[in-house]
Structure 1
């Protein structure tokens, strides 16, 4: 009985923590890795970071893609001061180093296997109260 009670307390505490996370905090957790986490082999970076940041979890389907931005939160907040495009998204004025994670094959159930690609792209975000809350996409700098 004590083990069951302890288990329920832990589950409720985890749910409480998730419920109190703001949209901006969730954005940071899921998308900002600055400075970039060192010493991870390229082929393990995505699996490790997605699990560490609680983006993927046992029993849940694999997230098809996720992007980690290797720039400071302040640089991404600055994007919200830029004029939005015709779809309402704000873009970073400069390209940033990113790691784009894409699930390998048709793997939709854990264990999730990802491929990582590092690129220099501009980041498009949705903003709420001057803070980024959704990574809407990325695009390469003009040639």
Structure 2
């Protein structure tokens, strides 16, 4: 085989696949429009069609703790991708890859324990606080009744 020979990959399979996807998508949307329900009830135009009147604003404030947990989720999710990629190349990486992945997972465990220790994962009320409030309410009802 000559060294300067250029191999060309035919594009027609990709174009055929893309056109099949577009045709199927158009067919599904068209059938959904034709076979779907068409009605104009009073509450159809309202958000969520729940029949519940809206009260207040849709702009809610979230605690900074919520964003911290969301960032932790994203970070650990990205690290899970790295671990999955390592698993794909497990045999090619050998023992060096295994030790590297073990160190990486160990660091993740240390960070998770640290975040748990500083209370970054405590976003709800403490169970003991909920129990105290419940006991107070039940005692107040017992005194009244």
| TM-score for both structures, normalised by structure 1 | 0.20
Higher helix share: 2
| TM-score for both structures, normalised by structure 2 | 0.20
Higher strand share: 1
